[in-house]
Amino acid sequence: MDVTIPESRVAGRVRAPPSKSYTHRAVLAAGYGADTTVVDPLVSADTRATMRAVEAFGGAVDRRGDELDVSGFDGHPAVPDDVVDCANSGTTTRLVTACGALADGLCVFTGDGSLRSRPQGPLLDAIDQLGGRAESTRRNGQAPLVVGGPVDGGTVSIPGDVSSQYVTALLMAGAVTDGGIGIDLETELKSAPYVDITIEVLDDFGVDVARTDHGFRVPGGQSYRPAGGEYEVPGDFSSMSYLLAAGAVAAADGDGVVVEGARPSAQGDSAIVDVLASMGAAVEWDRDAGEITVPRASLSGTTVDVGDTPDLLPTIAALGAVADGDTTIENCEHVRYKETDRVEAMAEELSKLGASVTEARDRLTVHGGESDLEGAVVDGRGDHRIVMSLAVAGLVADGETTIRGGEHVDVSFPGFFEALESLGVDVEGHD
Task: Kindly write down the DSSP assignment for every residue of 204-236, as one continuous string.
Answer: HTT---EE-SSEEEE-SS-----GGGEEEPPB-
Residues labelled catalytic: 311
CA within 13 Å, CB half, 351: 11
Task: Kindly write down the DSSP assignment for every residue of 338-353, as one continuous string.
Answer: SSS-HHHHHHHHHHHT
Q: Which residues contact 18 (CB under 8 A, 6 or more apart)?
A: 40, 41, 42, 233, 234, 235, 236, 261
Handedness of CA 245, 251, 256, 257 (dihedral sign): negative
Contact of 333 with 362, CB cutoff 8 Å: yes
Q: Which residues contact 122 (CB under 8 A, 6 or more apart)?
A: 158, 159, 162, 163, 166
> CA–CA separation, 222 vs 224, rounded Å?
7
> CA–CA separation, 112 vs 88, rounded Å?
6
> CA–CA separation, 351 vs 373, rounded Å?
9
Contact of 266 with 339, CB cutoff 8 Å: no
Distances in Å between the alpha carbon of 63 and those of 44, 49, 185, 284, 377?
13, 14, 38, 35, 38
Q: Which residues contact 184 (CB under 8 A, 6 or more apart)?
A: 155, 156, 157, 158, 212, 214, 215
Contact of 354 with 373, CB cutoff 8 Å: yes
Cα-based angle 220, 221, 222 (whole degrees, multiple of 5):
95
Residue 399's CB is within 10 A of a number of other CB atoms, namely 11
Q: Which residues contact 193 (CB under 8 A, 6 or more apart)?
A: 266, 267, 268, 269, 308, 309
Query: Cis peptide leading into 144, omega within 30 of 0?
Result: yes
Q: Which residues pair with 3 in a beta bridge?
A: 403
